[in-house]
Amino acid sequence: MKTGKVVLVGAGPGDPGLITVKGLNAIKQADVILYDRLANPKLLEFAEPDCEFIYCGKLPERHTLRQEKINELLVEKALEGKTVIRLKGGDPGVFGRVGEEAAALAHYKIPFEIVPGISSGIAAPLYAGIPVTHREHAESFAVVTAHDKSENGKPLLDWEGLARGVDTIAFYMGVGNLPYICENLIHHGKSASTPVILIHWGTFGRQKTLQGTLANIAERAIAEKFSNPSIILVGDVISLREKISWFEQKPLYGRQILLARTGDSVSELAQELMNQGADVIEFPKWKRTVLSIDVTNVASYDHILFTSPESVTEFFTALFEQGSDIRTIRASLYGASSKSVRALNKQGLMANLAEEMPATGKRLIVGDDGIVTQDNADKLYTSKKELDQQFIPIFKRMLEEADVNTMIFPSSASVAQFVEGLRECGIDATELLANLQVVSMGKQTMAAVADAGLPLSGMPPKATKEALISYLAGRALGGE
Protein backbone atom coordinates (compact mmCIF):
# COMPACT_ATOMS: atom_id res chain seq x y z
CA MET A 1 0.00 0.00 0.00
CA LYS A 2 1.24 3.46 -0.90
CA THR A 3 2.09 5.65 2.07
CA GLY A 4 -0.19 8.64 2.52
CA LYS A 5 0.86 12.08 3.63
CA VAL A 6 0.38 14.40 6.59
CA VAL A 7 -0.30 18.13 6.52
CA LEU A 8 0.31 19.98 9.80
CA VAL A 9 -2.08 22.93 9.56
CA GLY A 10 -2.41 26.09 11.61
CA ALA A 11 -6.13 26.72 12.12
CA GLY A 12 -5.69 30.32 13.25
CA PRO A 13 -6.83 31.84 16.56
CA GLY A 14 -10.55 31.01 16.52
CA ASP A 15 -12.43 33.10 13.97
CA PRO A 16 -12.87 30.51 11.18
CA GLY A 17 -12.35 33.22 8.57
CA LEU A 18 -8.73 33.58 9.69
CA ILE A 19 -7.56 30.19 8.42
CA THR A 20 -5.31 30.40 5.36
CA VAL A 21 -6.52 29.40 1.90
CA LYS A 22 -3.91 26.62 1.84
CA GLY A 23 -5.05 25.34 5.22
CA LEU A 24 -8.70 25.28 4.16
CA ASN A 25 -7.87 23.43 0.95
CA ALA A 26 -6.01 20.82 3.00
CA ILE A 27 -9.08 20.26 5.18
CA LYS A 28 -11.22 19.71 2.07
CA GLN A 29 -8.88 16.93 0.89
CA ALA A 30 -8.55 15.12 4.23
CA ASP A 31 -9.34 11.48 4.93
CA VAL A 32 -8.58 11.96 8.63
CA ILE A 33 -8.38 15.10 10.77
CA LEU A 34 -6.77 15.14 14.21
CA TYR A 35 -7.85 18.44 15.76
CA ASP A 36 -7.08 20.38 18.94
CA ARG A 37 -9.38 22.10 21.42
CA LEU A 38 -8.43 25.58 20.18
CA ALA A 39 -9.04 24.82 16.50
CA ASN A 40 -12.57 26.09 15.79
CA PRO A 41 -14.76 22.98 15.17
CA LYS A 42 -16.67 24.91 12.48
CA LEU A 43 -13.67 24.28 10.21
CA LEU A 44 -14.46 20.55 10.27
CA GLU A 45 -17.62 21.22 8.29
CA PHE A 46 -15.49 21.89 5.22
CA ALA A 47 -14.25 18.28 5.24
CA GLU A 48 -15.77 15.54 3.09
CA PRO A 49 -18.74 13.71 4.69
CA ASP A 50 -16.75 10.48 5.14
CA CYS A 51 -13.73 12.17 6.77
CA GLU A 52 -12.74 10.70 10.14
CA PHE A 53 -12.38 13.14 13.06
CA ILE A 54 -10.12 12.46 16.06
CA TYR A 55 -10.19 14.89 18.99
CA CYS A 56 -6.83 15.63 20.60
CA GLY A 57 -7.95 18.38 22.96
CA LYS A 58 -5.85 19.43 25.91
CA LEU A 59 -6.99 21.02 29.17
CA PRO A 60 -4.81 21.70 32.21
CA GLU A 61 -4.13 18.37 33.94
CA ARG A 62 -6.46 16.59 31.48
CA HIS A 63 -5.28 15.52 28.04
CA THR A 64 -7.69 13.60 25.80
CA LEU A 65 -4.64 12.22 23.93
CA ARG A 66 -1.05 12.42 25.08
CA GLN A 67 1.47 13.84 22.60
CA GLU A 68 3.10 10.42 22.10
CA LYS A 69 -0.26 8.91 21.12
CA ILE A 70 -0.94 11.77 18.70
CA ASN A 71 2.42 11.11 17.04
CA GLU A 72 1.58 7.41 16.77
CA LEU A 73 -1.81 8.11 15.21
CA LEU A 74 -0.32 10.44 12.59
CA VAL A 75 2.11 7.71 11.57
CA GLU A 76 -0.49 4.93 11.71
CA LYS A 77 -3.08 6.73 9.56
CA ALA A 78 -0.49 7.85 7.00
CA LEU A 79 0.86 4.30 6.67
CA GLU A 80 -2.70 3.25 5.81
CA GLY A 81 -2.36 5.42 2.71
CA LYS A 82 -4.57 8.25 3.97
CA THR A 83 -4.28 12.02 3.69
CA VAL A 84 -4.02 13.13 7.31
CA ILE A 85 -4.54 16.68 8.57
CA ARG A 86 -3.23 17.71 11.96
CA LEU A 87 -5.33 20.80 12.75
CA LYS A 88 -3.72 22.96 15.43
CA GLY A 89 -4.96 26.23 16.92
CA GLY A 90 -3.05 29.36 15.97
CA ASP A 91 0.28 28.73 14.26
CA PRO A 92 1.70 25.21 14.57
CA GLY A 93 5.21 26.57 15.07
CA VAL A 94 4.30 28.76 18.06
CA PHE A 95 4.07 26.48 21.11
CA GLY A 96 2.27 23.93 18.92
CA ARG A 97 4.71 21.01 19.24
CA VAL A 98 4.89 20.78 15.46
CA GLY A 99 8.60 19.99 15.70
CA GLU A 100 7.89 16.83 17.70
CA GLU A 101 5.20 15.67 15.30
CA ALA A 102 7.27 16.42 12.20
CA ALA A 103 10.24 14.55 13.68
CA ALA A 104 8.06 11.46 14.25
CA LEU A 105 6.89 11.57 10.63
CA ALA A 106 10.41 12.09 9.32
CA HIS A 107 11.58 9.06 11.33
CA TYR A 108 9.14 6.86 9.39
CA LYS A 109 9.91 8.65 6.09
CA ILE A 110 6.29 9.81 5.81
CA PRO A 111 5.82 12.81 3.47
CA PHE A 112 4.55 15.89 5.30
CA GLU A 113 3.95 19.60 4.87
CA ILE A 114 3.56 22.39 7.41
CA VAL A 115 1.01 25.14 6.75
CA PRO A 116 1.53 28.25 8.93
CA GLY A 117 -1.40 29.88 10.68
CA ILE A 118 -2.14 33.22 12.31
CA SER A 119 -0.88 33.15 15.89
CA SER A 120 -3.23 34.16 18.69
CA GLY A 121 -0.50 36.31 20.25
CA ILE A 122 -0.87 38.71 17.32
CA ALA A 123 -4.52 38.17 16.34
CA ALA A 124 -6.16 38.38 19.78
CA PRO A 125 -4.58 41.77 20.54
CA LEU A 126 -5.66 43.11 17.14
CA TYR A 127 -9.25 41.99 17.80
CA ALA A 128 -8.97 43.85 21.11
CA GLY A 129 -7.82 46.98 19.24
CA ILE A 130 -4.10 46.65 19.99
CA PRO A 131 -1.30 46.30 17.42
CA VAL A 132 1.65 44.58 19.11
CA THR A 133 4.08 47.06 17.52
CA HIS A 134 3.81 50.80 16.90
CA ARG A 135 6.62 53.16 16.00
CA GLU A 136 5.73 55.51 18.88
CA HIS A 137 5.07 52.89 21.54
CA ALA A 138 6.64 49.51 20.76
CA GLU A 139 9.55 48.61 18.51
CA SER A 140 10.01 45.07 19.80
CA PHE A 141 7.66 42.16 20.45
CA ALA A 142 8.11 38.77 22.10
CA VAL A 143 5.93 35.66 22.38
CA VAL A 144 6.53 33.70 25.56
CA THR A 145 5.14 30.47 27.00
CA ALA A 146 3.68 31.04 30.44
CA HIS A 147 4.18 27.44 31.54
CA ASP A 148 6.81 24.85 30.73
CA LYS A 149 8.05 21.37 31.62
CA SER A 150 9.65 22.48 34.88
CA GLU A 151 8.57 20.68 38.04
CA ASN A 152 6.26 23.45 39.27
CA GLY A 153 5.13 24.60 35.82
CA LYS A 154 6.62 28.06 36.33
CA PRO A 155 8.42 29.27 33.19
CA LEU A 156 12.22 29.53 33.44
CA LEU A 157 12.84 32.69 31.44
CA ASP A 158 15.36 35.50 30.97
CA TRP A 159 13.19 37.83 33.04
CA GLU A 160 15.68 40.69 32.95
CA GLY A 161 15.95 40.50 29.16
CA LEU A 162 12.14 40.56 28.85
CA ALA A 163 11.63 43.33 31.40
CA ARG A 164 14.33 45.66 30.09
CA GLY A 165 14.70 44.69 26.44
CA VAL A 166 11.19 44.02 25.03
CA ASP A 167 8.44 46.63 24.59
CA THR A 168 5.45 44.29 24.10
CA ILE A 169 5.24 40.77 25.53
CA ALA A 170 2.53 38.20 24.76
CA PHE A 171 2.31 35.35 27.29
CA TYR A 172 0.37 32.29 26.10
CA MET A 173 -2.02 30.38 28.39
CA GLY A 174 -0.63 31.95 31.54
CA VAL A 175 -3.55 33.00 33.75
CA GLY A 176 -2.62 30.43 36.40
CA ASN A 177 0.90 31.87 36.60
CA LEU A 178 -0.14 35.52 36.34
CA PRO A 179 1.04 36.56 39.85
CA TYR A 180 4.43 34.92 39.17
CA ILE A 181 4.73 36.68 35.81
CA CYS A 182 3.91 40.12 37.20
CA GLU A 183 6.20 39.73 40.20
CA ASN A 184 9.18 38.75 38.02
CA LEU A 185 8.68 41.52 35.46
CA ILE A 186 8.49 44.14 38.23
CA HIS A 187 11.44 42.64 40.12
CA HIS A 188 13.61 42.73 36.99
CA GLY A 189 12.89 46.32 36.02
CA LYS A 190 9.44 46.67 34.44
CA SER A 191 7.42 49.50 35.97
CA ALA A 192 4.53 48.35 38.17
CA SER A 193 2.32 50.82 36.27
CA THR A 194 2.96 49.07 32.92
CA PRO A 195 -0.41 48.33 31.24
CA VAL A 196 -1.54 44.69 31.03
CA ILE A 197 -4.57 43.22 29.27
CA LEU A 198 -5.97 39.68 29.37
CA ILE A 199 -7.81 38.56 26.22
CA HIS A 200 -10.01 35.49 26.71
CA TRP A 201 -11.15 33.48 23.64
CA GLY A 202 -9.62 36.12 21.37
CA THR A 203 -11.26 36.61 17.91
CA PHE A 204 -14.42 34.74 18.98
CA GLY A 205 -17.67 36.60 19.59
CA ARG A 206 -17.30 35.44 23.21
CA GLN A 207 -14.03 37.38 23.49
CA LYS A 208 -13.60 39.08 26.86
CA THR A 209 -10.93 41.48 28.02
CA LEU A 210 -9.65 42.57 31.41
CA GLN A 211 -7.30 45.53 31.71
CA GLY A 212 -5.01 46.65 34.50
CA THR A 213 -1.34 47.07 35.37
CA LEU A 214 1.43 44.77 36.50
CA ALA A 215 0.61 45.90 40.03
CA ASN A 216 -3.08 44.94 40.07
CA ILE A 217 -3.99 42.64 37.13
CA ALA A 218 -3.45 39.39 39.08
CA GLU A 219 -5.86 40.49 41.80
CA ARG A 220 -8.40 41.61 39.20
CA ALA A 221 -8.14 38.31 37.32
CA ILE A 222 -8.97 36.39 40.49
CA ALA A 223 -11.92 38.68 41.26
CA GLU A 224 -13.30 38.28 37.71
CA LYS A 225 -12.56 34.52 37.64
CA PHE A 226 -10.60 34.94 34.43
CA SER A 227 -9.32 31.70 32.93
CA ASN A 228 -7.56 30.23 29.92
CA PRO A 229 -7.55 30.20 26.94
CA SER A 230 -6.20 33.73 27.29
CA ILE A 231 -3.39 35.86 25.97
CA ILE A 232 -1.64 38.09 28.51
CA LEU A 233 -0.32 41.20 26.78
CA VAL A 234 2.11 43.52 28.57
CA GLY A 235 3.24 46.89 27.24
CA ASP A 236 2.53 50.59 26.74
CA VAL A 237 1.04 49.92 23.30
CA ILE A 238 -2.13 48.79 25.07
CA SER A 239 -3.00 52.49 25.47
CA LEU A 240 -4.01 52.56 21.78
CA ARG A 241 -7.02 50.36 22.52
CA GLU A 242 -9.18 53.32 23.56
CA LYS A 243 -8.85 54.83 20.08
CA ILE A 244 -8.90 51.84 17.73
CA SER A 245 -11.04 49.17 19.37
CA TRP A 246 -13.15 47.80 16.50
CA PHE A 247 -14.28 44.20 17.03
CA GLU A 248 -16.08 44.91 20.29
CA GLN A 249 -17.99 47.71 18.56
CA LYS A 250 -19.75 45.32 16.17
CA PRO A 251 -23.55 45.27 16.61
CA LEU A 252 -23.76 41.60 17.65
CA TYR A 253 -20.59 41.44 19.74
CA GLY A 254 -21.38 39.40 22.85
CA ARG A 255 -24.12 37.39 21.17
CA GLN A 256 -23.50 33.68 21.48
CA ILE A 257 -26.07 32.20 19.18
CA LEU A 258 -27.44 28.71 18.75
CA LEU A 259 -28.86 28.49 15.22
CA ALA A 260 -31.27 25.71 14.26
CA ARG A 261 -30.17 24.12 11.02
CA THR A 262 -32.15 22.31 8.34
CA GLY A 263 -29.64 22.08 5.49
CA ASP A 264 -26.17 20.63 5.04
CA SER A 265 -24.70 23.48 3.00
CA VAL A 266 -22.83 26.54 4.28
CA SER A 267 -25.30 28.86 6.01
CA GLU A 268 -25.37 32.43 4.70
CA LEU A 269 -27.28 33.49 7.80
CA ALA A 270 -24.65 32.03 10.14
CA GLN A 271 -21.88 33.74 8.18
CA GLU A 272 -23.59 37.13 8.33
CA LEU A 273 -24.23 36.81 12.06
CA MET A 274 -20.53 36.09 12.58
CA ASN A 275 -19.62 39.02 10.33
CA GLN A 276 -21.57 41.22 12.75
CA GLY A 277 -19.57 39.99 15.75
CA ALA A 278 -21.58 37.01 17.05
CA ASP A 279 -20.46 33.50 17.92
CA VAL A 280 -22.66 30.98 16.11
CA ILE A 281 -23.15 27.29 16.87
CA GLU A 282 -25.23 25.52 14.22
CA PHE A 283 -27.19 22.39 15.05
CA PRO A 284 -28.00 19.77 13.89
CA LYS A 285 -25.32 18.79 11.33
CA TRP A 286 -26.90 16.64 8.63
CA LYS A 287 -25.73 14.00 6.17
CA ARG A 288 -27.78 13.92 2.98
CA THR A 289 -28.35 11.14 0.44
CA VAL A 290 -30.07 12.19 -2.80
CA LEU A 291 -32.96 9.93 -3.84
CA SER A 292 -34.24 8.98 -7.26
CA ILE A 293 -37.57 10.78 -7.83
CA ASP A 294 -40.31 10.88 -10.46
CA VAL A 295 -41.32 14.40 -11.52
CA THR A 296 -43.51 13.51 -14.50
CA ASN A 297 -46.77 14.62 -12.85
CA VAL A 298 -45.68 17.92 -11.26
CA ALA A 299 -47.67 19.88 -13.86
CA SER A 300 -50.90 18.87 -12.08
CA TYR A 301 -50.20 20.96 -8.95
CA ASP A 302 -51.46 24.46 -8.18
CA HIS A 303 -48.88 25.22 -5.45
CA ILE A 304 -45.43 23.74 -4.77
CA LEU A 305 -43.54 24.38 -1.53
CA PHE A 306 -39.79 23.71 -1.25
CA THR A 307 -38.57 23.11 2.28
CA SER A 308 -34.87 23.85 1.68
CA PRO A 309 -32.43 25.21 -0.93
CA GLU A 310 -31.10 21.67 -1.38
CA SER A 311 -34.58 20.42 -2.33
CA VAL A 312 -34.76 23.10 -5.05
CA THR A 313 -31.50 21.90 -6.58
CA GLU A 314 -32.46 18.22 -6.33
CA PHE A 315 -35.92 18.81 -7.83
CA PHE A 316 -34.75 20.80 -10.86
CA THR A 317 -31.82 18.45 -11.46
CA ALA A 318 -34.28 15.56 -11.66
CA LEU A 319 -36.57 17.62 -13.90
CA PHE A 320 -33.72 18.22 -16.37
CA GLU A 321 -32.41 14.64 -16.26
CA GLN A 322 -35.89 13.25 -17.00
CA GLY A 323 -36.32 15.56 -19.98
CA SER A 324 -39.24 17.51 -18.50
CA ASP A 325 -39.75 21.10 -19.63
CA ILE A 326 -39.82 23.59 -16.76
CA ARG A 327 -42.53 25.50 -18.64
CA THR A 328 -45.00 22.69 -17.91
CA ILE A 329 -45.06 23.71 -14.24
CA ARG A 330 -48.08 25.95 -13.76
CA ALA A 331 -47.96 26.02 -9.97
CA SER A 332 -47.19 29.00 -7.78
CA LEU A 333 -43.88 28.37 -6.00
CA TYR A 334 -43.01 28.87 -2.33
CA GLY A 335 -40.01 28.47 -0.05
CA ALA A 336 -40.01 27.51 3.63
CA SER A 337 -37.36 30.19 4.24
CA SER A 338 -35.95 33.23 2.48
CA LYS A 339 -32.93 31.12 1.55
CA SER A 340 -35.21 28.64 -0.23
CA VAL A 341 -36.94 31.52 -2.03
CA ARG A 342 -33.55 32.80 -3.21
CA ALA A 343 -32.66 29.34 -4.48
CA LEU A 344 -35.83 29.40 -6.62
CA ASN A 345 -35.00 32.93 -7.79
CA LYS A 346 -31.63 31.64 -9.00
CA GLN A 347 -33.53 29.21 -11.22
CA GLY A 348 -35.16 32.24 -12.81
CA LEU A 349 -38.45 31.66 -10.98
CA MET A 350 -40.59 33.94 -8.85
CA ALA A 351 -41.47 32.59 -5.40
CA ASN A 352 -42.96 33.65 -2.07
CA LEU A 353 -42.54 32.53 1.52
CA ALA A 354 -44.51 29.51 2.75
CA GLU A 355 -46.82 31.59 4.92
CA GLU A 356 -48.30 33.12 1.76
CA MET A 357 -49.31 29.75 0.26
CA PRO A 358 -53.13 29.35 0.08
CA ALA A 359 -54.80 26.48 1.89
CA THR A 360 -56.85 25.67 -1.21
CA GLY A 361 -55.83 23.99 -4.46
CA LYS A 362 -53.69 20.94 -5.12
CA ARG A 363 -50.43 21.29 -3.18
CA LEU A 364 -47.06 19.54 -3.26
CA ILE A 365 -44.33 19.78 -0.63
CA VAL A 366 -40.82 19.03 -1.87
CA GLY A 367 -38.01 18.21 0.53
CA ASP A 368 -36.15 15.51 2.44
CA ASP A 369 -37.72 12.59 4.26
CA GLY A 370 -38.22 14.73 7.36
CA ILE A 371 -41.07 16.74 5.82
CA VAL A 372 -43.73 17.59 8.38
CA THR A 373 -47.18 16.40 7.25
CA GLN A 374 -49.70 19.06 6.17
CA ASP A 375 -53.38 18.43 5.44
CA ASN A 376 -54.33 17.99 1.79
CA ALA A 377 -50.73 18.23 0.60
CA ASP A 378 -48.77 15.58 -1.29
CA LYS A 379 -45.10 15.05 -0.50
CA LEU A 380 -42.11 14.44 -2.76
CA TYR A 381 -38.94 13.26 -1.03
CA THR A 382 -35.83 14.39 -2.92
CA SER A 383 -33.31 13.17 -0.35
CA LYS A 384 -32.81 11.22 2.82
CA LYS A 385 -31.36 13.19 5.70
CA GLU A 386 -29.83 11.83 8.89
CA LEU A 387 -27.97 13.30 11.82
CA ASP A 388 -24.20 13.25 11.36
CA GLN A 389 -23.18 11.26 14.42
CA GLN A 390 -19.56 12.48 14.29
CA PHE A 391 -20.71 16.00 15.11
CA ILE A 392 -22.71 15.12 18.23
CA PRO A 393 -19.70 15.05 20.62
CA ILE A 394 -18.32 18.13 18.82
CA PHE A 395 -21.61 19.98 19.40
CA LYS A 396 -21.62 19.02 23.09
CA ARG A 397 -18.09 20.36 23.55
CA MET A 398 -19.01 23.59 21.79
CA LEU A 399 -21.96 24.04 24.17
CA GLU A 400 -19.69 23.44 27.17
CA GLU A 401 -17.12 26.00 26.01
CA ALA A 402 -19.64 28.70 25.10
CA ASP A 403 -22.17 30.65 27.15
CA VAL A 404 -25.09 30.67 24.72
CA ASN A 405 -27.56 33.52 25.24
CA THR A 406 -29.60 33.53 21.99
CA MET A 407 -31.54 30.90 20.04
CA ILE A 408 -32.65 31.45 16.43
CA PHE A 409 -35.15 29.35 14.49
CA PRO A 410 -34.87 30.39 10.81
CA SER A 411 -37.90 28.42 9.58
CA SER A 412 -40.82 26.38 10.88
CA ALA A 413 -39.19 23.21 9.54
CA SER A 414 -36.14 23.83 11.72
CA VAL A 415 -38.06 23.51 15.01
CA ALA A 416 -38.95 19.81 15.02
CA GLN A 417 -35.59 18.86 13.54
CA PHE A 418 -33.74 20.82 16.21
CA VAL A 419 -35.75 19.25 19.04
CA GLU A 420 -35.25 15.75 17.63
CA GLY A 421 -31.53 16.36 17.14
CA LEU A 422 -31.16 17.45 20.76
CA ARG A 423 -33.06 14.37 21.86
CA GLU A 424 -30.48 12.18 20.13
CA CYS A 425 -27.81 14.08 22.10
CA GLY A 426 -29.64 13.41 25.36
CA ILE A 427 -30.50 17.11 25.77
CA ASP A 428 -33.95 18.44 26.60
CA ALA A 429 -34.80 21.42 24.36
CA THR A 430 -37.02 23.16 26.91
CA GLU A 431 -34.33 23.06 29.58
CA LEU A 432 -31.60 24.21 27.19
CA LEU A 433 -33.61 27.21 25.97
CA ALA A 434 -35.16 28.17 29.31
CA ASN A 435 -32.97 31.23 29.90
CA LEU A 436 -32.17 32.15 26.29
CA GLN A 437 -33.64 34.82 24.05
CA VAL A 438 -35.52 32.68 21.52
CA VAL A 439 -36.06 34.42 18.17
CA SER A 440 -38.31 33.12 15.38
CA MET A 441 -38.06 34.08 11.72
CA GLY A 442 -41.69 34.59 10.68
CA LYS A 443 -45.15 33.89 12.04
CA GLN A 444 -45.24 30.24 10.98
CA THR A 445 -41.93 29.64 12.70
CA MET A 446 -43.17 31.31 15.88
CA ALA A 447 -46.28 29.11 15.80
CA ALA A 448 -44.09 26.00 15.40
CA VAL A 449 -41.97 27.09 18.38
CA ALA A 450 -45.12 27.59 20.48
CA ASP A 451 -46.54 24.20 19.38
CA ALA A 452 -43.30 22.53 20.49
CA GLY A 453 -43.75 24.04 23.96
CA LEU A 454 -40.55 26.07 23.71
CA PRO A 455 -39.99 29.57 25.12
CA LEU A 456 -40.87 32.55 22.93
CA SER A 457 -39.11 35.92 22.91
CA GLY A 458 -40.20 37.50 19.64
CA MET A 459 -39.42 37.87 15.97
CA PRO A 460 -38.03 40.49 13.58
CA PRO A 461 -40.55 42.41 11.43
CA LYS A 462 -39.38 40.54 8.32
CA ALA A 463 -37.85 37.10 7.85
CA THR A 464 -34.60 38.43 6.38
CA LYS A 465 -30.97 38.53 7.52
CA GLU A 466 -31.01 42.32 7.60
CA ALA A 467 -34.15 42.50 9.73
CA LEU A 468 -32.84 39.83 12.11
CA ILE A 469 -29.53 41.62 12.69
CA SER A 470 -31.31 44.92 13.28
CA TYR A 471 -33.70 43.19 15.70
CA LEU A 472 -30.90 41.52 17.68
CA ALA A 473 -28.79 44.68 17.75
CA GLY A 474 -31.73 46.62 19.21
CA ARG A 475 -32.62 44.10 21.92
CA ALA A 476 -30.69 43.88 25.18
CA LEU A 477 -29.49 40.39 26.01
CA GLY A 478 -32.01 38.64 28.20
CA GLY A 479 -34.74 41.12 27.28
CA GLU A 480 -37.67 41.16 24.87
Span 115-126, pLDDT tens digits: 999 999 999 999
Task: Report how far residue 445's alpha carbon sits from residue 239's, in angstroms, rounded to the nearest whole number.
Answer: 47
Catalytic (active-site) positions = 36, 58, 173
Do 278 and 205 touch, CB atoms closer than 8 A?
A: yes
Fold entry, domain 288-385: Rossmann fold (3.40.50)
Span 178-220, pLDDT tens digits: 999 999 999 999 999 999 999 999 999 999 999 999 999 999 9
In this prediction, residue 476 carries a pLDDT of: 67
Span 74-99, pLDDT tens digits: 999 999 999 999 999 999 999 999 99
Domain edges within the chain? 5-117, 122-248, 256-285+388-473, 288-385
Supply the pTM of this predicted model: 0.86
Residue type at 438 in one-letter notation:
V
Q: Is the pLDDT of residue 58 over 70?
A: no
Q: Is the pLDDT of residue 64 over 80?
A: no
- Residue 183 neighbours by CB under 8 Å, 6+ apart: none
In this prediction, residue 413 carries a pLDDT of: 83
**CB hemisphere CA count around 128 (13 angstroms):** 29
> Would the CATH topology of 122-248 be identical to that of 256-285+388-473?
no
Q: Is the pLDDT of residue 373 over 80?
A: no
Do 231 and 120 touch, CB atoms closer than 8 A?
A: yes
Identify the CA nearest to 162 among candidates 125, 199, 193, 187: 187
Q: Is the pLDDT of residue 479 over 50?
A: no
Span 410-442, pLDDT tens digits: 988 899 999 999 999 999 999 999 999 999 999
Domain 5-117 class in CATH:
alpha beta
Residue 355 backbone dihedrals phi, psi, to 5 degrees: -65, -15
Q: What is the CATH number of domain 122-248?
A: 3.30.950.10
Fold entry, domain 256-285+388-473: Rossmann fold (3.40.50)
Span 209-265, pLDDT tens digits: 999 999 999 999 999 999 999 999 999 999 999 999 999 999 999 999 999 998 777
Question: Cα–chain-centroid distance for residue 134?
Answer: 32
Q: What is the mean pLDDT of residues 449-463?
A: 94
